[in-house]
Amino acid sequence: MRTLSYKDAISEALVQAMDNDPDIFIFGLGVDDYKGIFGTTREAYRRFGPERVFDTPASEGALMGITLGAAVNGKRPVMVHARNDFMFLALDQLLNNAAKWKYVYAGKTSVPCLVRGIVGKGWGQGVTHSQNIQAVCAHVPGLHVAVPSSPYLAKGLILQALQTDGPVVILESRALYDTVGPVSEEMYTFDFGKAHVCRRGKDVTVVATSLMVPEALKAAGILEAHGIDLEIIDPVSLQPMDERTIIESVKKTGHLICVDNDWLRCGFSAEVAAVVADQAFGSLKKPVKRIGWAFSPCPVSKTLEDRFYPSCQNIIETVLHLLDRDVPYNKECALTTDTFLGPY
């Protein structure tokens, strides 16, 4: 299979879906800009023009109202937030209307729409451009919420979202846009509620989301050289959640580390820990460990930001704590305690 970048996989998915369905249109601040939301909407604008890909004012609440109105009238809108932080301004209609109308109207009305939000990281994004609102969205019944970690998943989830009879939120990490991976040229979908087992292993289950998946895979590669075998599971969609795959893995390994691209308090990692405690407590050899963002607003300083976000180093040190192992590292792989944010 050919390789494609994460951003190009999103672009290709949108173009293929729009070719297939004339009711799909894309709108949001900057979607028709020459940069095209980091390159994800540029080709769609070139192909379909301003009638189906168009810029908007920075009025997120009004845009969500347009999304709902268009969806219930037979269109399939794709609303894009260049930073998912601004989705807070649209949450009233997203959570109180779009997510609930199918239930309220006994299945006779649905709101088929896709809301794309981008989670910022790097180059000094600061406190209002670097948050992740995944936990807020996944908390409310009626929404599908997904956080693709690879180009393959990004394309498959967007194509699935644009065939789903209801509202979907896909949150993309900006830091993944230039990553590359195998992606089929054909149209394909990836089901919501289906986890992706990225790596098979026997010693420790690592459930990682979004940007933390490549960090977990890096950690697995380093630890493999020292006889420690990690199983890496990407939940892919936070709602619905594939509990079975996670439980089966924990029953095999007896250990669980959850690495989330978000704060830990009241977040997805806590949900994973609760599900495992409820359904596989007897299989755990040690308590569940969780790794996530430092519990603070994200600093603008690059040096402080590097400390704010966890990395493969944090995952490796947590594995060593969990297994009571002391593994020597060469200079290139050396771990220092001052970089360890800690899962506790």
Query: What residues are labeled active site?
Result: 60, 129
Determine the angle formed by the axes of helices 268-279 and 243-253, rounding to 10 degrees: 60
Determine the angle formed by the axes of helices 151-161 and 6-20, rounding to 10 degrees: 20
Q: Go through the chain and tell me how many residues it has.
A: 344
Residue 71: its H or E element: helix 60-72
Residue in 99, 108, 27 with CA at minimum distance from that of residue 67: 27
Determine the angle formed by the axes of helices 312-323 and 212-224, rounding to 10 degrees: 50
- SS3 state of residue 283: helix
The rounded distance, in Å, linking the Cα atoms of 277 and 280 is 6
Q: Show Cβ contacts of residue 298 under 8 Å, excluding neighbours closer than 6 positions.
A: 125, 126, 127, 130, 131, 305, 308
Helix/strand/coil (H/E/C) assignment for every residue in 194-257:
CCEEEECCCCEEEEECCCHHHHHHHHHHHHHCCCCCEEEEECCEEECCCHHHHHHHHHHHCCEE
Question: What is residue 278's DSSP assignment?
Answer: H
Strands (E) located in 286-334 = 289-293
* Structure tokens, 111: 């709101």
Residue in 216, 236, 232 with CA at minimum distance from that of residue 291: 216
